[in-house]
Structures are given as structure tokens and as C-alpha cells.
Amino acid sequence: MKQFLFLLLLFVTTVATAQKTKEESATEKFVLKLHETKFRWMINKKLDSLSTILDERVQYVHSNGWMETKKEIIDDLRSGKLVMNNVTVTEASARVYKGFVIVNGKGVFNVVLEGKKVDINLLYTEVYAKRQNGWLLVSRHANKLP
């Protein structure tokens, strides 16, 4: 009987700690919406808006190994070196940690890179950090999918 009660207690404790809090669920939803809004801002060249969610030390790693800073991201979009025509997020999930949210996603990216039209299927990870002025993108890394 003691063993049964111990297992029951262990099960209840595991289930209780595994469930998300309302705050975690709300944070996940907020950051997922922010992550998709970021793509719209990139497509529509709303660079002032985009700038507000990029951390000053962001590292943005593209699937071709190209790594950019905040200034380079904004400058390349402004100059037309990188043109985002469309982004279709096909999957996205978020995990909340103390002060951070990690977004894993898949999507189809229709871009023009240095004058060449490219359609890329990507798997990506984005890390958002809670700062005084809100959630900021601090890191992104993308890999091409077959």
C-alpha cells in the first residue's frame, strides 16, 4: 500500500509540475505572435518596428552561414541586398524558461538575395529574452530543409 501511495504521489507531482502556468501559456502565445509579426515587418520593410524587437547584440545566422548583427540586418533590408517577399510559417512552438523563450519553427521563405530569387524551406530556432522594454530577439539560427 505504501508503494502504491508513493507511486500515486510521484505521478501527481510529475503531472502538476509538467503543466504550464497561465503566465507561461500567455507568454508563449505572445512571443509566437511577436515572432510572426517580425516576419511581416521584414516583408513590409517596417524597419523601425523591427529594430524595437532586435537586441543590440542579436546574432542572426542564416541558413547559408551568413551571420548578421542588428545593424547589418536592418541595413541589408533597407538597401535591398535582402528582400523578404513572403514567409509562410508551417510550424512553430515556444518553450518558456525564466527570462527566455525559445521558438522552434519551420517555414517557407521567398526571398531575393543579392538580386537572385530564392525559395527556401527552413528549420529555425529563435531565442527571445525578457528585457526592461519587452521581449527581444537575441539569437536566431536557421538550417535548410530538403
Instruction: Provide the residue type at 14 as one letter.
Output: T
What's the pLDDT tens digit per position in 11-60?
444 444 456 788 888 999 999 999 999 999 999 999 999 999 999 999 99
The Cα 26–Cα 29 span in angstroms is 5
Do the Cβ atoms of 76 and 117 come closer than 8 Å?
A: no
Can you give the pLDDT at residue 19? 62
Mean residue pLDDT across the chain = 89
pTM equals: 0.84
Cell 526592461 belongs to 132
**Per-residue pLDDT at 1 exceeds 80:** no
The Cα 76–Cα 85 span in angstroms is 14
Minimal CA–CA distance to 62: which of 132, 21, 120, 15?
Answer: 120
80: left (phi over 0), alpha (psi -120 to 50) or beta: left
Phi, psi of 22, rounded to the nearest 5 degrees:
-60, -35
Do the Cβ atoms of 123 and 145 come closer than 8 Å?
A: yes
